[in-house]
Amino acid sequence: MSVEVGQQLELTIDGFAAGGLGVAHHGGRAIFVPQTIPQETVVARITHLGRKKISAELVEIIEPSADRVTPVCPVFERCGGCQLLHVDYQAQLGLKKIILTDALRSIAGLDYEPELKIVPAAARLAYRNRGQYPVARKGSKVVTGFFAARSHKVIAVDKCHIHDQRVDQAVGCIRAWAGRKRVTVYDEKRQRGFLRHAVVRVTDKPDQVLVALVGKDDRAGSYGDLIRRLRRQLPQLRGLVLNINPQRTNVILGKRMRVLWGQPDIDEHIDGLRFRLSLGSFFQVNTAQAGELFKKVRKFLKNTSGPLVDAFCGVGVMASLLAKDGHETIGIEVAESAVADARQTLKFNQLSGVTFHQGRVEQVLPKLIKDGLEPGGLVLDPPRKGCAAEVLQAVAQSKTEKIAYVSCHPGSLARDLARLFELGFELETLEGVDMFPQTAHLEVFAGLVRR
């Protein structure tokens, strides 16, 4: 049965897919509808016909799910950042389990649903310790917010319910300053204007805030009014920096940075260790849940003999915690700023037995193995795209007995698990950690051992 773009259909949602999309079936084809929940009957309008995928938008809910709740955010339907804000929290965990188990079954041939556990988050709102807000101008007004799904249209947001409130306070100061001082806002089509993004990092122990303006150029002038606003609203302010990004790109941060006031970094504390975080260095956005994840990795590698490698190590949190546990550790990270932060962490905490290598994991790890490194265990925490083939091949050649794989993308995790099975490893444990409540994302820890 054929359908057309613009056609409205009454559908029963009978599945759930990555990206937080409800799935219905019509004429033998799957139709993906955002903001819907399995077992709902809805009216949806077809928006895209592809060879493999039909997309639709929600028009009306005829029979809602018992798991549907009223979203706390007034722009939920337009923003798209929190795909599950309309779902009861316990049901959110169930939907994330569906996404993960479907990927494991279809890609890696694993049927793991009965045993799979997901660690729930204690804080379901106000948990994000980092915010990156695009800036736009609506008429004469400067606004900040988030891009609507599949677009660069900024949806104005004054309060994001999943961010720490200090993030919104800082961004509010930037909006007020930019409006009062008539700061030009970057227009990506014309490549004109100055202010592109507002970026904020916060920590709880100690209570610190780092604020950044992302500008097209190194704009001269006085930032005194903004500094005064920020210090008045946020006594915890550690620093204000200007990040310069002149490129026509979707990458938020540029390579150059200038300190406008204070310090260019903040400190985070985990299990008694102090970590330095600069603006661009990767760190998990949910500090409390990150602690739960780190505990699982440390427990899995506890009795491992021989050095441990922390690939994609970021600011060296896992490497440092493993060193605290008494292991010799080696961290590998491509971002120069993150490696600098990691090395500073060693000085802060007087840790020994830790070495950091700056470079691409697919280049550094094979070289270390070729030069004779025989790790007892490896931590793999790659970006969303997963591990390159060279990384997994080096892991197989390393003689390691254990792999602690941390993933934020079920699809790439399942693909890499299938590869590792072929290379002689088997799964010993698999657990989810809900690092991102109200969204369709899930952090997963997979512990593998050599067969």
Confidence band of 1 (pLDDT split at 50, 70, 90): low
Look at residue 66 in the predicted model and tell me its pLDDT: 97
Confidence band of 114 (pLDDT split at 50, 70, 90): low
pLDDT at 205 over 90: no
82 is catalytic: no
Specify the domain boundaries for CATH 2.40.50.1070 within the chain: 130-267
Specify the domain boundaries for CATH 2.40.50.140 within the chain: 8-68
Confidence band of 55 (pLDDT split at 50, 70, 90): very high
Q: What is the pTM of this model?
A: 0.93
Scanning the structure block, which residue is given the tokens 């550690």? 238
Q: What's the rounded Cα separation, in Å, for the pair 368 and 374?
A: 9
Right CATH number for 130-267 from 3.40.50.11540, 2.40.30.10, 1.10.1060.10, 2.40.50.1070? Answer: 2.40.50.1070
Q: Determine how β-strand 354-358 pairs with β-strand 425-433.
A: unpaired
Q: Report yes or no: 143 and 155 within 8 Å, Cβ to Cβ.
A: no
**Tens-place pLDDT, residues 261-313:** 999 999 999 999 999 999 999 899 999 999 999 999 999 999 999 999 999 99
What would the mean pLDDT of 245-251 be, rounded to a whole number?
A: 91
What would the mean pLDDT of 247-263 be, rounded to a whole number?
A: 94
Right CATH number for 273-450 from 3.40.50.150, 3.40.190.10, 3.40.47.10, 2.40.240.20? Answer: 3.40.50.150
Q: What's the rounded Cα separation, in Å, for the pair 119 and 122?
A: 9
Confidence band of 152 (pLDDT split at 50, 70, 90): confident
Specify the domain boundaries for CATH 3.40.50.150 within the chain: 273-450
Q: Report yes or no: 78 and 97 within 8 Å, Cβ to Cβ.
A: no
Measured from the Cβ of residue 404, the count of other Cβ atoms closer than 10 Å reads 25
Q: What's the rounded Cα separation, in Å, for the pair 451 and 445?
A: 19
**Tens-place pLDDT, residues 82-112:** 999 999 999 999 999 999 999 999 999 988 7
Q: Tell whether the torsion through CA atoms of 59, 65, 67 and 69 is positive or negative.
A: positive
- Cα distances from 135 to residues 67, 102, 213, 398, 412, in angstroms, run 35, 37, 10, 47, 32
The alpha carbon torsion through 269, 274, 275, 279 (nearest 10 deg) reads 70
Confidence band of 344 (pLDDT split at 50, 70, 90): very high
**Tens-place pLDDT, residues 409-422:** 999 999 999 999 99
CATH architecture of the region 8-68: Beta Barrel (2.40)
Q: What's the rounded Cα separation, in Å, for the pair 75 and 61?
A: 18
What would the mean pLDDT of 107-127 be, rounded to a whole number?
A: 88
Q: Which two tokens stand for residue 417?
A: 């698990």
